[in-house]
């Protein structure tokens, strides 16, 4: 699929080579698919950039990023600068003399002095059909908006946020009940395949990129736990999308007394003539809550510090009959 927009844009310095020298920049599991694809096709990077180890889990122990873990397994040099605005970090990249930097969900901004280092520029594997859903959370945004299709793009990076010209896209349908986690895995595979199919043509300059249509651009900002609050005054269809979009992170939630309850699975139902938030029914297959428009059947719930359980199990723990949330 070729992106719509203005005229074509060639690689800044078209080059031809059999074994390009690549730096790969990525951090989460999404990026591992593209890194693995490079390794499997004989284009293993000379170095990997990933974010510094973070403390996580109940023990708050330092944990490696998924990209670092895989890179070390493959014997690839790993660099973890806390910023790329530091002259010393930039000098290390210059010394590697890369032909191309491939970026996939890295999480740090590449300043212009880094973008200017590789001969063939910097190439981003992005999880949307640009210019739709630029930004940090395109997968969640696509589900929240009810998009029937999304996909992945290969974009020539520039200083703006996901504004660069696009080389190629791969369209991926969004399942009616698909969660962000499930879509994430399919898009990771899509992006990896797109990368290895077009890498050679991008490097040697035979594939041109097309400028994005700015009039069609929309943004997907970074999400927080507050974005995942379930407001029963909203439409049931929106709440159902919210549950899917925030599964597995951060998890859609609502307050029940003094507990934050997470909802992992829900289905929208026809409207009921009661105020929003009213518990309409407690059934074997779910707990039905009225919404601003329609109703929502909660099917999988989780109390703080406990495992996710079915709605029937939840109802056996807490009596919800006749309550209004």
What averages of pLDDT result for each successive group of 10 residues across the chain (325 residues)?
35 54 97 97 95 85 95 97 94 96 96 95 97 97 98 96 97 97 98 95 92 97 96 98 98 96 97 93 94 97 96 92 88
Token pair belonging to 313: 């199990």
This prediction's pTM: 0.92
Classify residue 323: in a domain, yes or no.
Answer: no
CB 249 within 8 A of CB 224: no
What is the per-residue pLDDT for 222?
Answer: 94
Token pair belonging to 139: 């997968």
- Do 194 and 258 reside in the same domain of the chain? no
d(C-alpha 41, C-alpha 206), whole Å = 20
Classify residue 3: in a domain, yes or no.
Answer: no
Query: Domain boundary residue among 220, 248, 265?
Result: 220
Classify residue 156: in a domain, yes or no.
Answer: yes
Q: Provide the CA 241 distance to its chain's centre, in angstroms.
A: 16
Q: How many beta carbons lie within 10 A of that of residue 195, not counting itself? A: 25
Q: How many beta carbons lie within 10 A of that of residue 256, not counting itself? A: 15
CB 167 within 8 A of CB 155: yes
The DSSP letter of residue 228 is G
What is the per-residue pLDDT for 11?
Answer: 38
- Do 207 and 231 reside in the same domain of the chain? no
Show the domain range for 38: 8-220
Closest CA to 273 of 259, 294, 242: 294
Classify residue 308: in a domain, yes or no.
Answer: yes
Classify residue 24: in a domain, yes or no.
Answer: yes
- Residue 148, SS3 per DSSP: coil
Backbone phi, psi, residue 189, to 5°: -65, -40
Residues 6+ apart with CB under 8 A from 197: 168
* Element housing 69 (H / E): helix 66-73
Q: How many domains does the chain have?
A: 2
- Do 127 and 200 reside in the same domain of the chain? yes
- Do 191 and 238 reside in the same domain of the chain? no
- Do 194 and 244 reside in the same domain of the chain? no
- Do 75 and 188 reside in the same domain of the chain? yes
CB 213 within 8 A of CB 7: no
The DSSP letter of residue 225 is G
Q: How far is CA 275 from CA 141, 233, 263, in A?
A: 28, 9, 21
- Residue 149, SS3 per DSSP: strand
- Do 206 and 231 reside in the same domain of the chain? no
Closest CA to 99 of 49, 46, 48: 46
CB 121 within 8 A of CB 114: no
């Amino acid at each position: 699929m070729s992106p719509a927009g203005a005229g074509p844009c060639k690689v800044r310095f078209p080059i031809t080579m059999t074994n390009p020298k690549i730096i790969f920049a990525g951090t989460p599991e999404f990026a591992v698919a593209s890194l693995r694809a490079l390794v499997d096709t004989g284009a293993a990077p000379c170095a990997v950039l990933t974010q510094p180890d973070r403390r996580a889990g109940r023990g708050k122990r330092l944990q490696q990023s998924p990209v670092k873990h895989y890179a070390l397994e493959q014997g690839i040099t790993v660099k973890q600068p806390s910023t790329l605005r530091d002259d010393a970090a930039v000098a290390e990249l210059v010394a590697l003399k890369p032909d191309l930097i491939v970026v996939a969900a890295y999480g740090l901004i590449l300043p212009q002095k880094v973008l200017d280092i590789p001969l063939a520029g910097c190439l981003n594997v992005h999880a949307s059909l640009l210019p739709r859903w630029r930004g940090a959370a395109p997968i969640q945004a696509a589900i929240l908006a009810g998009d029937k299709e999304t996909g992945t793009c290969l974009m020539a990076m520039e200083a703006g946020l996901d504004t660069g010209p696009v080389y190629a896209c791969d369209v991926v349908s969004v399942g009616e009940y698909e969660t962000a986690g499930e879509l994430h895995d399919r898009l990771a595979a899509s992006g990896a395949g797109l990368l290895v199919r077009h890498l050679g043509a991008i490097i040697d300059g035979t594939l041109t990129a097309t400028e994005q249509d700015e009039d069609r651009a929309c943004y997907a900002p970074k999400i927080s736990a507050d974005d995942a609050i379930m407001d029963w005054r909203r439409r049931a269809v929106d709440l159902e999308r919210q549950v899917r979009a925030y599964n597995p992170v951060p998890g859609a939630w609502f307050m029940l007394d003094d507990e934050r309850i997470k909802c992992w699975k829900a289905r929208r139902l026809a409207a009921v003539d009661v105020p929003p938030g009213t518990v309409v029914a407690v059934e074997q297959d779910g707990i039905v809550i009225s919404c601003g428009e329609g109703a929502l059947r909660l099917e999988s719930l989780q109390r703080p510090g406990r495992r996710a359980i079915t709605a029937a199990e939840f109802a056996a723990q807490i009596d919800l009959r006749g309550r209004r949330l």
